[in-house]
Structure 1
């Protein structure tokens, strides 16, 4: 099986709707569908659902895991529950300045 190197740049020219969705998001005008597309493609770009392990290179494995970490952070943030967010705000407000 030939796993692509994790450092290959994203082939944006093959997904122009994603590019336009990002541009719309930057302007604060992304539609609901564009927002869903952005999140889906961010998971693809980060390799979140892929295996990080690269059998022929520890460095490629590490690079892939670094990319995957970004996807994991996005998933964690979008899945935070309201009570966890509120508890965090309360802890932050109790910290000394």
Structure 2
């Protein structure tokens, strides 16, 4: 199996519903389904669920891990508990 280079651009022409969903989100008109599609595709674009390691290139591995970091930050924010958010609000008031 060939692992694609992490720097290959997203093939947006193969997923036009995603493109239209992003355009709707930008205007503030995205439906719930479009919002879910955007998040799903952002996780795919970031390579979050893929292995970052590229056996033939440390640079490609580093690049892939940089992309994956974005997905990890999204997951972290989505999974924050209400308690953690409230504690953060208290810390910023000081």
**TM surpasses 0.5:** yes
Deviation at 1:7, TM superposition (A): 0.0
Which 5+ residue runs of structure 1 have no aligned equivalent? none
Map of 1:53-72 to 2, 5 A cutoff? Answer: 53-72=53-72
Unaligned stretches of 5+ residues in structure 2: none
Alignment of 1:1-97 (within 5 A): 1-94=1-94
Aligned residues: 94
Give SS of 2:87's match.
Answer: helix
Give me the whole-angstrom Cα distance separating, in 1, the residues matched to 2:79 and 2:18. Answer: 22
- Aligned-partner Cα distance in 2 for 1:2–1:23: 33
Distance 1:45 1:8 in 2: 10
Normalising by structure 1, we get a TM-score of 0.96
CA distance in 2 between counterparts of 1:4 and 1:59 reads 13
Query: What is the CA–CA distance in structure 2 between the aligned matches of 1:24 and 1:78, rounded to whole Å?
Result: 21
Q: CA deviation at 1:41?
A: 0.2
Once the 2 structures are TM-superposed, how far is the Cα of residue 83 of structure 1 from its aligned partner?
A: 0.8
Task: State the alpha-carbon separation in 2 of the partners of residues 86 and 19 from structure 1.
Answer: 35
